[in-house]
């Protein structure tokens, strides 16, 4: 594949890893040439049609870029090794999303495995970090819930359209794939079907990430588990600043994202649905007034815009490619 960059992937057997395999298989300028296991599991097995066999981790040698779709606490040491071998690194885990080491250790409950990387890592919320991502050799891919909330709220905070001191209330709901492939009693089909529940109330690890990268107002974040496989719908309850109404909020979001290929702001009277974004790298936003408050609703696919799709968007920029390359497909799982 002349003119292509080579890519290696750790974690190809997980949900995000499988999505990355599917995306890379159709990419015009990237070739997935190595798949590694950080745990020595499944060696020699194909993880997807056309993907290379899984090998034991060797430090990330022989590729232009390494994608890490591994659990928190595992990725950062692998990132350090891959950087030493000259690869650019994009980490889909939470290891490098918080620049504050003390906050990371408080959130995740153990010492950070590679704190020396924290000052260098770029938080890859692409629409707000495009230039930094393009010049980076190490990018931390945002979490799925934070992506849905930040794309909806950050332009409003930056434009000072929200009342000072009023909290941002986020009622966020995700399909079960957000919990990963491992599964638990909580995500067992019999406990999810015909059911809806809040979880991690006041303790979810994405809350500090949202707060850290939103700044400004206090964020009250409550996640829920939906009886579906993929997608996130975040509903934000906001108090606008004096003189700001829903129309002004909608106009501000529309202006901020007017030239963004993957963010759409709906007209008044329309609300996003999961089926509008599933199997895509899109975020769809809706805005309405509820009395004096403004409600902004945000829909993404947690496995794509919330993980593999945003990762590829960032990797394209890191390698000097069109950021939309390979993202017009509808690949992946059910």
In the chain, CATH 3.30.360.10 covers 144-302
pLDDT at residue 70, rounded to an integer:
94
CA distance 19 to 316: 16
Could you tell me which CATH number the domain at 5-142+305-318 has? 3.40.50.720
| Model-wide pTM > 0.85 | yes
pLDDT at residue 179, rounded to an integer:
72
| pLDDT average per 10 residues of sequence, the chain (334 residues) | 83 92 95 86 59 92 97 96 98 97 95 97 98 98 98 98 97 88 68 85 93 95 95 98 98 98 97 97 98 97 98 98 88 46
3-state SS of 312-327 is HHHHHHHCCCCCCCCC
In the chain, CATH 3.40.50.720 covers 5-142+305-318
* Contacts (Cβ under 8 Å, ≥6 apart) of 241: 160, 161, 162, 163, 164
pLDDT at residue 3, rounded to an integer:
63
Catalytic residue among 21, 35, 144, 283: 144
CATH superfamily of 144-302: Dihydrodipicolinate Reductase; domain 2 (3.30.360.10)
Looking at the chain, how many residues does it have? 334
Judge whether 21 counts as a catalytic residue. Answer: no
């Amino acid at each position: 594949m002349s003119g292509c960059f080579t890519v290696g992937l750790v974690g190809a057997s997980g949900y995000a890893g499988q999505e990355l395999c599917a995306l890379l298989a159709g990419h015009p300028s990237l070739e997935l040439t190595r798949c590694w296991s950080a745990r020595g599991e499944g060696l020699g097995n194909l993880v997807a049609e056309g993907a290379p066999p899984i090998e034991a981790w060797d430090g990330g040698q022989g590729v232009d870029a390494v994608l890490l779709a591994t659990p928190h606490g595992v990725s950062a040491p692998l990132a350090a090794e891959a950087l030493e071998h000259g690869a650019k690194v994009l980490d889909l885990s939470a290891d490098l999303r918080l620049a504050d080491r003390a906050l990371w250790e408080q959130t995740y409950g153990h010492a950070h495995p590679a704190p020396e990387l924290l000052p260098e890592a770029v938080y890859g919320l692409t629409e707000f970090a495009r230039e930094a991502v393009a010049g980076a050799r190490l990018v931390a891919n945002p979490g799925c819930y934070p992506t849905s909330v930040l794309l909806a709220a950050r332009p409003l905070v930056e434009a000072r359209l929200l009342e000072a001191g009023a909290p941002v209330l986020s009622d966020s709901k995700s399909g079960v794939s957000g919990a990963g492939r491992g599964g638990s009693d909580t995500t067992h089909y019999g406990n999810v079907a015909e059911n809806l529940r809040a979880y991690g109330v006041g303790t979810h690890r994405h809350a500090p990430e949202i707060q850290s990268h939103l700044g400004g107002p206090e964020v009250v974040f409550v996640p829920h588990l939906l009886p579906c496989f993929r997608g996130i719908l975040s509903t934000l309850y906001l108090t606008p600043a004096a003189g700001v109404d829903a129309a002004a909020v909608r106009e501000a979001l529309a202006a901020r994202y007017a030239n963004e290929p993957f963010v759409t702001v709906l007209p008044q009277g329309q609300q996003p649905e999961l089926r509008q974004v599933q199997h895509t790298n899109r975020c769809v936003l809706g805005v309405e007034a509820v009395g004096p408050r403004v409600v902004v609703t945000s829909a993404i696919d947690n496995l794509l815009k919330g993980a593999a799709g945003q990762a590829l968007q960032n990797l394209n920029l890191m390698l000097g490619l069109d950021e939309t390359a390979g993202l017009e497909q509808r690949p992946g799982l059910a």
